Structure 1
């Protein structure tokens, strides 16, 4: 059976449309202050800063005993505990209890592009996503800054919204473990098979 040229063009375009995915990592250095609007920590402030050249994200949560750095290039997360002057390093993909890099969407996640909105004075595009039983919506700028996000899994849901966005070069020293802090061993449940916890 012969198909018309317009029909063939439409079929050729379908895979590209189905694979459309948002830019979810900022393309330039930026610091964002969020307000947690739902879920755990509701009403608290959350600060995130991206050091794009080194693919690092620093997270400071109000009320937390320290801060953390997600290193996408090394696929690890550093948890810095100020009072103990200690650092815990968590490897990525260590099984059910391990770390998954939250700034990298799962390969199987499905995205649907929606309209646009303005948050913290910046325009953003709405994206709905599905990943298994996880559902949510996020509003992203054209250069990958998340301005609002909500969703979760089952009864575990949460939401954040940006209140301040500052584009500026970030200090690399803020994305490293402070000198002189001791290393803490991994909790047993996070040690990959065949890998001994550091002493």
Structure 2
């Protein structure tokens, strides 16, 4: 679950902050909600994922397939929390995992233009780049919304042959998103997620 959310967040949020010859904007400059179709990274059928940005607070909401709830990433606070409404619980993501979702690749990352496309009725520019996870091609709008990401994943534990992960927007809606979508609910119990590769977690605490 956490791996799926992390890969999604990396594809959408962890783009280079400095790229003088690359896209004008690497993150959304306007409030927006996007629905994506996800393929690859597992033998399962394509799944749907929803993302929303609140630009003023630098908060990002992710509803990823297979997750027990939705995730709130707060870039100002450098935190990530999984909200499980059915259990009325909040799972604090370890700082190292949260940082991986928000970190920027090296400033010397090179973007190579690959033309233009139109996805979900919206024009975007194609860029090819190499990231830690592998080679990636993304299609970004002029205002920084990613409409497609195709990443050739390098071999790693759990994915020894590598693979291809594809995310493509099927719906794009600009405009203010309900503020409650970016607010942690009150009265929920909290727990700390286990570090990567360790099972279990700390008992809930108020």
Q: Normalising to structure 1: TM-score of the pair?
A: 0.76
CA distance in 1, matches of 2:86, 2:192: 17
Q: What is the number of residues matched between the two proteins? A: 173
Deviation of residue 79 (structure 1)? 0.7
Deviates more, 1:46-55 or 1:181-190: 181-190
Deviation of residue 53 (structure 1)? 0.4
Tell me the C-alpha RMSD between the 2 structures.
Answer: 2.6
CA distance in 1, matches of 2:133, 2:88: 39
Residue 99 of structure 1: aligned partner: 98
CA distance in 2, matches of 1:120, 1:141: 11
Residue 118 of structure 2 corresponds to residue 118 of structure 1: yes
Residue 33 of structure 1: aligned partner: 35
Deviation of residue 101 (structure 1)? 4.8
Deviation of residue 42 (structure 1)? 4.1
Residue 20 of structure 1: aligned partner: 21
Structure 2: 5+ residue runs without aligned partners?
1-18, 155-161, 198-202
**Residues 88 and 184, structure 1, Cα contact 8 Å, conserved in 2:** yes
Q: Which residue, 194, 201, 204 being the options, matches 1:187?
A: 194
**Residues 153 and 165, structure 2, Cα contact 8 Å, conserved in 1:** no
Say which one has the larger Rg: 1
**Residues 117 and 124, structure 1, Cα contact 8 Å, conserved in 2:** yes
Structure 1: 5+ residue runs without aligned partners?
1-17, 191-196
Deviation of residue 91 (structure 1)? 4.8
